[in-house]
Amino acid sequence: MKRVLVAGIGNVFLGDDGFGVEVVRRMDVSALPGSVVVADYGIRGVHLAYELLGGAYDTLIMVDAVELDGPPGTVAVLEIDDEPAPDAMPPVNGHGMHPQAVLDLLAKLGGRVPRVLLVGCRPRTIDEVMGLSEPVAAAVEGAVAAVTALARDETYRQSDRERADA
């Protein structure tokens, strides 16, 4: 059975970059279907790419601090094309991998994920400091609810698709 992977991404030592890690830390996995896996990948983007290489997931939901329109703390859900950027070379430093770099590395390794969503939050600060800024911290609970709903919806969407194909 294919699954949904919710991956928290970010560096907790760089202020708001720890947004994705904090969101997955606060998620209640008991409220999710058994086919949803929630994991803190932190700065281990290479590890995430290798986890996805096996093809066990129909949907990847990445949670990360990203530049978005709007003030710090703005949260958005983006559908990501997992096609690699032309001539994309993933960073050699696994600690500096952002969501697109993970997908580019996955493609270079010969893998792909059929559906990729990104729940992003605009950061206020990405500096060497522990803890989220006030507007980003205030966005965490809403992001937890959004990611939970997305993970459930993706599970049911997959089930509906499988019934339609039968």
The predicted-structure confidence for 8-22, as pLDDT tens digits, reads as follows 999 999 999 999 999
Superfamily of domain 4-84+96-156: HybD-like (3.40.50.1450)
Rounded Cα distance, 101 and 107, in Å? 10
The predicted-structure confidence for 119-140, as pLDDT tens digits, reads as follows 999 999 999 999 999 999 999 9
Nearest to 62 by CA among 85, 38, 35, 46: 38
The predicted-structure confidence for 76-105, as pLDDT tens digits, reads as follows 999 987 555 555 444 545 446 688 888 988
- The per-residue pLDDT for 165 is 58
- The per-residue pLDDT for 87 is 53
The residue extents of the domains of the chain are 4-84+96-156
- Asked if 14 contacts 127 with a C-beta cutoff of 8 angstroms, the reply is yes
State the DSSP H helix or E strand holding residue 38, giving kind and residue range, or none if neither: strand 36-42
